[in-house]
């Protein structure tokens, strides 16, 4: 086998694993869009906020210590204990649920029946607000996140591919774990939405708000539920991205990368989010691999958006989206 | 008492159709223009020019441009930063290629270059709408910035990858480069701001503006009553990008002096201008100015209060600023989704009846 083909295959595999990461963020978007028709721009910042909170709990940081120090001249920084990961993750989940309640109480409730564009802008405002709160609460420096997931080159993949092709592929073990966890998450979400009472209510709301209201489903509870689930998905995404490249501001930018993923997959489809993420991941790695020598590197910055743009021209509703029907 | 239309009789159609039909508004407008052109140049100093007035004027142009696209034509765009970069790099290439050309023409030409690029990236708007279009404009944002940082031709192969504005003169006064005085910087920005605002106001009042608004309110219905969506959407993109390009050219040549695409025209600029438009009020010329003033003066005041007043560290103040801007956007959207312009409209309605409201 030629070297180029082997390298291309490795790039494809790396693209698949990167795509899983994008899909994780896109999942949160799809959940909220389906249940409330809100295009939640804050999903990426929610991932950042969740990861920051998790690290803060783990290392026993005092929230808002920076602000308190500035206001009262104290020198607080840590409680002096470390929370075990198994305790810190449920604590963070609680924080994300609290966040969902607050978002519903203070924002969504007041914006019922507004145009989608106003709701979209509100989530941009929320993104900025959360970013500021996260930084003030836990400090803005880059933090290492370690929840005990294995890292580094996967020996098994390396050995197996070396035995087959005479060339070992480099795959991060963390990304294999990420793929497994993403699959579990999707399975759990599917079971939840198909077989539980609340899941059915959620699907009913997604289908038709008014009809759901008229059979006695509480819209406000469903919104809190959706935003909580999106918060938990954000936490999972935050853990994965955070363990890969540290918890830092650029984490919230992956939200932007999730947008083309959504466009490819369709805003309303969970499988679409996964498939879209994989296509974008593989596409940008392969494009970078073949085109970098010709037009210069770092094409990953824009390839996903351009692919989405071209794709939109042919199929505006995405691969798995519902057909858009317009009436006057 | 003061703010009345009663007794202000119009005797010609021209008088009836003027931009400010109420006397009080009209005199207020003349007063502001007179103050800006005659009094401000006498009292302006370097600090005021650099931290508040010049950025306010420049961002007001960008907000006007984006307001035409979002507020009047209803096409969501997140590519403002990149279009400003097109204006900046366009003016840089023109300045270095034609050193004899007057800077005023350079900036206008840079606006036209940006308009052409804007139309190109506006083409998808014919098929896609709303959020989908927003993502399509993100493609413009990331692709153009990548192009400007990767292609050496755009920055004349300078080793740092930065572009820097050479010195240029208008009426014998340096307006760009390190020797430009506060007054000349202020005046060139003011002239451009007033000219673009006048243009925007009259475009949106005319047939083109009505076409844009018809497309915004419902594009299918607009098409049925005979508005050509192709023309309406593409002209909105062209005019909007023209304004944004002028703003980017001014930002680079007059205000920054030196710039690097990824640093000066990133996605945060797109959001900043978008926030100006939302907070100011969608579909309002006054709103573009109000939003720009709010988001330029607000952070300066906040920094003065927190860093100089209370002695807090600057990074904390910066985080608080992000948080407060986010909260303000939420408050505005909940309390008054149509921004400062709508507040102003309500105040005027109240003023009409004052002091005898019914």
Question: Which residues numbered 203-242 in B keep a CB inside 8 Å of some CB on A?
Answer: 218, 220-221, 224
Tell me if A292 sits within 8 A of A311, measured CB to CB: no
Question: Which residues numbered 156-185 in B keep a CB inside 8 Å of some CB on A?
Answer: none
Rounded mean pLDDT of chain A? Answer: 81
Tell me whether residues B139 and A132 touch, CB distance under 8 A: no
Whether residue A1 is predicted with pLDDT greater than 60 in this model: the reply is no
A311: which chain B residues are within 8 Å (Cβ-Cβ)? Answer: none
Q: Which residue has the higher pLDDT, A35 or B144?
A: B144
**Alpha-carbon distance A194 to nearest alpha carbon in chain B (angstroms):** 29
**Alpha-carbon distance B350 to nearest alpha carbon in chain A (angstroms):** 25
A299: which chain B residues are within 8 Å (Cβ-Cβ)? Answer: 146
- Is residue B302 within 8 angstroms of chain A, CB to CB? no
Name the residue among B325, B344, B273 with its Cα closest to residue B60: B273
Distances (CA, A) of A244 to A18, A19, A41, A146: 11, 14, 23, 9
pLDDT at res. A324:
66
- Is residue B139 within 8 angstroms of chain A, CB to CB? yes
pLDDT at res. B57:
94
Residue A323 placed within a domain: no
Burial environment of residue A77 by CB neighbours within 10 A (0 to 12, 13 to 18, 19 or more): middle
B333: which chain A residues are within 8 Å (Cβ-Cβ)? Answer: 111, 114, 118, 121-122, 125
Section A202-211 average pLDDT:
81
Closest CB from B143, B319, B330 relative to A125: B330
- Is residue B3 within 8 angstroms of chain A, CB to CB? no
pLDDT at res. A327:
65
Tell me if B290 sits within 8 A of B340, measured CB to CB: yes
Write the pLDDT tens digit of every residue in A145-162: 777 777 766 667 677 777
Alpha-carbon A54 to chain mean position = 16
Strand B169-170 and strand B163-164: the pairing is unpaired
Residue A324 placed within a domain: no
Distance between CA A232 and CA A222 in Å, rounded? 15
Q: Which residue has the higher pLDDT, B327 or A171?
A: B327
Whether residue A67 is predicted with pLDDT greater than 70 in this model: the reply is yes
Distance between CA A58 and CA A82 in Å, rounded? 5
Name the residue among B262, B195, B78 with its Cα closest to residue A255: B78
Tell me whether residues A309 and B139 touch, CB distance under 8 A: yes
Residue A319 placed within a domain: no
Whether residue A195 is predicted with pLDDT greater than 60 in this model: the reply is yes
Tell me whether residues A67 and B323 touch, CB distance under 8 A: no
**Which residue of chain B comes nearest to A126, CA vs CA?**
B326
Write the pLDDT tens digit of every residue in A256-287: 788 888 888 877 777 888 888 888 888 888 88
Tell me whether residues B316 and A66 touch, CB distance under 8 A: yes
* Residues of chain B falling short of pLDDT 70: 1
Q: At A39, is the pLDDT very low, low, confident or very high (cuts 50, 70, 90)?
A: confident
Q: At A33, is the pLDDT very low, low, confident or very high (cuts 50, 70, 90)?
A: confident
Write the pLDDT tens digit of every residue in B284-301: 899 999 999 998 988 888
Distance between CA B77 and CA B64 in Å, rounded? 13
**Which residue of chain B comes nearest to A253, CA vs CA?**
B267
Residue A327 placed within a domain: no
pLDDT at res. A108:
84
- Is residue B76 within 8 angstroms of chain A, CB to CB? yes
pLDDT at res. B116:
95
**Which residue of chain B comes nearest to A266, CA vs CA?**
B132
Q: At A8, is the pLDDT very low, low, confident or very high (cuts 50, 70, 90)?
A: confident
**Which residue of chain B comes nearest to A292, CA vs CA?**
B150
pLDDT at res. A100:
92
Distance between CA A28 and CA B41 in Å, rounded? 53
pLDDT at res. B68:
93
**Which residue of chain A comes nearest to B324, CA vs CA?**
A129
pLDDT at res. A261:
85
Residue A328 placed within a domain: no
pTM recorded for the entire structure: 0.88
Tell me whether residues A67 and B316 touch, CB distance under 8 A: yes
Residue A321 placed within a domain: no
Predicted complex: ipTM over 0.85: no
How many domains does the structure of chain A reveal? 1
- Is residue B316 within 8 angstroms of chain A, CB to CB? yes
A254: which chain B residues are within 8 Å (Cβ-Cβ)? Answer: none
Closest CB from A124, A136, A327 relative to B316: A136
Structural domain that includes position A253: 3-314
pLDDT at res. B111:
95
Which stretch of A90-104, A121-135, B157-171 has the lowest confidence by average pLDDT?
B157-171
Tell me if A182 sits within 8 A of A274, measured CB to CB: yes
Tell me whether residues B143 and A135 touch, CB distance under 8 A: no
Distance between CA B288 and CA B67 in Å, rounded? 7
Residue A65 placed within a domain: yes
Distance between CA A212 and CA A30 in Å, rounded? 19
């Amino acid at each position: 086998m030629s070297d180029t083909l082997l390298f291309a295959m490795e790039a494809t595999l790396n693209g698949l694993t990167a795509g899983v990461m994008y899909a994780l963020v896109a999942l949160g978007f799809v959940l909220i869009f389906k249940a409330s028709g809100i295009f939640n721009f804050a999903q990426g910042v929610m991932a950042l906020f969740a990861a920051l909170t998790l690290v803060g709990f783990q290392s026993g940081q005092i929230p808002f210590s920076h602000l308190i120090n500035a206001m009262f001249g104290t020198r607080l920084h840590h409680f002096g204990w470390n929370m075990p990961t198994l305790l810190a993750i449920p604590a963070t989940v609680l924080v994300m649920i609290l966040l969902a309640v607050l978002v519903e109480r203070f924002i969504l409730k007041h914006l019922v029946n507004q145009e989608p564009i106003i709701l979209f802008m509100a989530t941009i405002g929320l993104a900025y607000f959360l970013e500021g709160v996260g930084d003030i609460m836990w400090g803005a420096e880059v933090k290492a996140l370690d929840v005990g997931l294995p890292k580094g080159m996967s020996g098994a993949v390396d050995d197996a591919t070396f035995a087959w092709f005479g060339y070992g592929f480099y795959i991060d073990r963390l990304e294999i774990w990420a793929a497994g966890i993403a699959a579990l998450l999707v399975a759990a979400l599917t079971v939840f939405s198909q077989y539980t009472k609340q899941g059915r209510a959620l699907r009913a709301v997604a289908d038709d708000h008014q009809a759901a209201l008229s059979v006695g489903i509480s819209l406000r509870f469903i919104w809190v539920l959706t935003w909580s689930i999106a918060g938990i998905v954000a936490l999972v995404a935050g853990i994965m991205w955070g363990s890969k490249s540290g918890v830092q501001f650029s984490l919230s930018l992956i939200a932007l990368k999730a947008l083309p993923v959504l466009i490819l997959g369709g805003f309303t489809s969970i499988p679409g989010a996964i498939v879209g993420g994989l296509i974008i991941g593989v596409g940008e790695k392969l494009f970078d691999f073949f085109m970098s020598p010709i037009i210069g590197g770092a094409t990953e910055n824009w390839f996903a958006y351009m692919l989405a743009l071209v794709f939109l021209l042919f199929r505006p509703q995405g691969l798995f989206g519902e057909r858009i029907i317009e009436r006057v | 008492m003061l703010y009345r239309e009663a007794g202000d009789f119009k005797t010609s159609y021209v008088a009836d159709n003027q931009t400010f039909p109420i006397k009080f508004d009209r005199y207020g407008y003349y007063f502001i223009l007179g103050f800006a052109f005659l009094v401000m140049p006498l009292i302006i100093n370097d600090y005021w020019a650099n931290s508040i007035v010049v950025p306010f004027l420049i961002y007001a142009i960008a907000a006007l441009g984006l307001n035409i696209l979002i507020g009047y034509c209803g096409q969501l765009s997140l590519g403002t930063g990149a279009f400003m970069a097109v204006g900046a790099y366009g003016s840089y290439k023109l300045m270095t290629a034609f050193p004899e050309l007057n800077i005023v023409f350079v900036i206008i030409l840079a606006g036209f270059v940006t308009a052409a690029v804007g139309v190109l990236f506006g083409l998808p708007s014919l098929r896609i709408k709303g959020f989908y279009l927003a993502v399509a404009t993100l493609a413009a944002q990331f692709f153009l910035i990548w192009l400007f940082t990767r292609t050496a031709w755009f920055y004349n192969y300078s080793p740092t990858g930065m572009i820097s504005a050479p010195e240029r003169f208008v009426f014998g006064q340096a307006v760009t480069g390190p020797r430009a005085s506060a007054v000349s910087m202020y005046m060139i920005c003011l002239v451009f701001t007033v000219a673009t605002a006048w243009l925007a106001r009259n475009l949106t009042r005319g047939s083109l503006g009505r076409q844009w608004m018809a497309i915004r309110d419902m594009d299918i219905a607009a098409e049925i009553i005979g508005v050509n969506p192709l023309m309406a959407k593409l002209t909105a993109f062209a005019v909007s990008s023209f304004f944004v390009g002028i703003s980017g050219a001014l930002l680079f040549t007059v205000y920054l002096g030196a710039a690097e695409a990824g640093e000066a025209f990133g996605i945060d600029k797109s959001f900043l201008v978008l926030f100006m438009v939302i907070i100011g009020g969608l579909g309002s010329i006054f709103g573009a100015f109000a939003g720009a003033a709010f988001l330029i003066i607000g952070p300066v005041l906040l920094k003065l209060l927190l860093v100089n007043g209370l002695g807090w560290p600057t990074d904390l103040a910066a985080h608080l600023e992000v948080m407060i801007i986010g909260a303000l956007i939420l408050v505005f959207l909940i309390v008054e989704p149509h921004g400062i312009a709508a507040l102003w409209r309500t105040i005027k309605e109240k003023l009409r009846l004052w002091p005898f409201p019914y």
